[in-house]
Structure 1
Amino acid sequence: MLASVDGAIGPAEQARVPITDEGLLRGDGAFEGLRLYSGRPFGLGEHLERLRSTTAGLRLEYDESALSHEISRLLEAAGPVDGVLRIVLTRGGRRILFVEPLPHRPRIARVGTVRYAPNRITEGLKTISYAANDLARRLAHEQGFDDALLVTPHGRVLEGATSAFFWVRDGRLRTPPLEDRILESVTRAKLIAVAGADEEVCTLDTLHGAEEAFLASSVREVQPVAAIDDLQLPAAPGPVTLRAHEALRQAIEAEIG
């Protein structure tokens, strides 16, 4: 696994940042993660635009030109790999990049709901303060599930711990609206555009009429969901899920060639 810290490329296990960096001490920073296909990043422009939005929201300055150059150099050094490019910007002023293998995930997921209240002050920002998201996944794992589905105390379904959530009712693909203070996922936006998903408020009661569901993210693409808590979905994957995944794959192939 290769890493770049402020332009210095080397083995990730040898990369170093000062222990006084408030990115480490306080989780104060921004990050992006995107998929590499034979070394080619998908959606890099959209991810960098969201990074700009996050850093603006955090009042975190960074050198965009240097970051762009360092991304190119790291991808060239990594070669034609299938993996994940991580971009991390810290309050201490560090630009951290690394290329890592794709994580192992089951082809079809069973998800458990975890109560969650979005943080208004960081609404829409992709920060490195991910302790709550990771804890949600651990809580779901403790109950025997593969991943977590975040649900407000009032029962509104939001998103996965690190993914967007889609479900199907009456043969139509749907996803919770951004107004519910979910992350503006790059993959979510792409699926809405290429698969025709509708934004619609979702509750736990709503899901009892669901025909299919899936999680979506840059790294996992589309992961069908077979069960939500004790609710067994009729199809995993179902026809709408398969069509959505194929539409996403076509968009990926059209961009990276």
Structure 2
Amino acid sequence: MDELASVNGTIGRAEEMTIPVTDEGLLRGDGVFEVARLYAGRPFAWDEHLARLLRSAANVRLEFDLGAARAEVDALLAKAGAVDGTIRLLITRGGRRVAVLAPLPERGESVTLGTVEYAPTRVLDAVKSLSYAANMLASRLAREAGADEALLVTPDGRVLEAPTSAFFYVRGGALHTPPLADHILDSITRRHVLALTGASERGLARDELTGLDEAFLASTTREVQPVSAIDGRALPAVPGPVTAAAAEALRRYIDERTAAS
């Protein structure tokens, strides 16, 4: 697919679009964003993403024109046609509305995780901000250690999430995910998986990772991706029956919603 972008309504090739270097979205990572997956040109759960964008912006005291942003995304999607990929919408402190179309990142059938110590920033709770340097560094550290992706764990040993994905795990046949009270992102895909599977929120200690039956990551771009190993320890089933059922339930739900839209 062509990587197109829109900056305050002007559409062009993503690599050629610009914003001023003085924009504090660039200088300080001061802004908010959302990413939705495109299925034949239709962004899945877009209203939910926009609602979270509004909450994030309000929490960092950033005003923007939602109507203009929505119209600019619609124009960009109309120009692109029925493509699969992602739509990313950024709102910067400098007042720019930036929408970017991109192909899906390449993913394997499963993913290996490496734990990386991470302390959530309380002041940014419930904010999907542009300040993602810590998340990206965690991913790089995990890859340096031989894993595909990081699994964030607090200094006192609470398992949280992956840098850009929710973490689900199976113990004793039951599906769980770390609670929002542990200062993880209120992921939209996480919400759907919880609703579709009946999974429960349950805190997980780092030393419990060796006793997991199954695990998976869930996100806009991954949907449900099985975890095959954590810190070099292979999980018993990849994908296990609970993971496979969650993946099927989410895929069926997405198909039904996109067909009806």
TM-score, normalized by length of structure 2? 0.97
RMSD (CA atoms): 0.7
The reply to whether residue 91 of structure 1 matches residue 93 of structure 2 is yes
Q: Distance in 1 between matches of 2:193 and 2:75?
A: 30
**Structure 1 letter corresponding to 2:193:** L
Equivalent of residue 121 in structure 1, options 120, 123, 127:
123
Could you say what secondary structure the match of 1:126 adopts?
Answer: coil
Q: Distance in 2 between matches of 1:210 and 1:56?
A: 38
Equivalent of residue 81 in structure 1, options 68, 80, 83:
83
Q: Distance in 2 between matches of 1:171 and 1:209?
A: 12
Q: CA deviation at 1:71?
A: 1.1
1:138 aligns with 140
2:154 aligns with 152
Q: CA deviation at 1:251?
A: 1.1
Equivalent of residue 38 in structure 2, options 22, 36, 39:
36
The reply to whether residue 70 of structure 1 matches residue 72 of structure 2 is yes
Q: Distance in 2 between matches of 1:83 and 1:118?
A: 29
Greater shift in the superposed pair: 19-28 or 231-240: 231-240
The reply to whether residue 109 of structure 1 matches residue 101 of structure 2 is no
2:215 aligns with 213
The reply to whether residue 199 of structure 1 matches residue 201 of structure 2 is yes
Could you say what secondary structure the match of 1:205 adopts?
Answer: helix
Q: Distance in 1 between matches of 2:151 and 2:211?
A: 17
**Structure 1: 4+ residue segments shifted above 6 A:** none
Q: Distance in 1 between matches of 2:42 and 2:112?
A: 31
Could you say what secondary structure the match of 2:106 adopts?
Answer: coil
Q: Distance in 1 between matches of 2:167 and 2:67?
A: 34
1:175-195 Cα shifts (integer Å, max 9, x gaps): 000000000000000000011
Q: Distance in 2 between matches of 1:62 and 1:55?
A: 8
Q: CA deviation at 1:150?
A: 0.2
Q: Distance in 1 between matches of 2:172 and 2:150?
A: 25
Q: CA deviation at 1:206?
A: 2.0
1:112-168 Cα shifts (integer Å, max 9, x gaps): 000000001111110000000000000001011100000000110000011000000
Q: Distance in 1 between matches of 2:96 and 2:72?
A: 12
1:244 aligns with 246
Equivalent of residue 63 in structure 2, options 61, 64, 74:
61
**Structure 2 letter corresponding to 1:15:** M
2:235 aligns with 233
Equivalent of residue 180 in structure 1, options 179, 182, 187:
182
Q: CA deviation at 1:231?
A: 2.2
Q: Distance in 2 between matches of 1:173 and 1:251?
A: 19
1:20 aligns with 22
Q: CA deviation at 1:207?
A: 2.0
**Structure 1 letter corresponding to 2:230:** I
Q: Give unmatched runs, 5+ long, in structure 2.
A: none
Q: How many residues align?
A: 257
Q: CA deviation at 1:204?
A: 1.5
Q: Distance in 2 between matches of 1:102 and 1:202?
A: 30
Q: CA deviation at 1:52?
A: 0.5
TM-score, normalized by length of structure 1? 0.99
1:167 aligns with 169
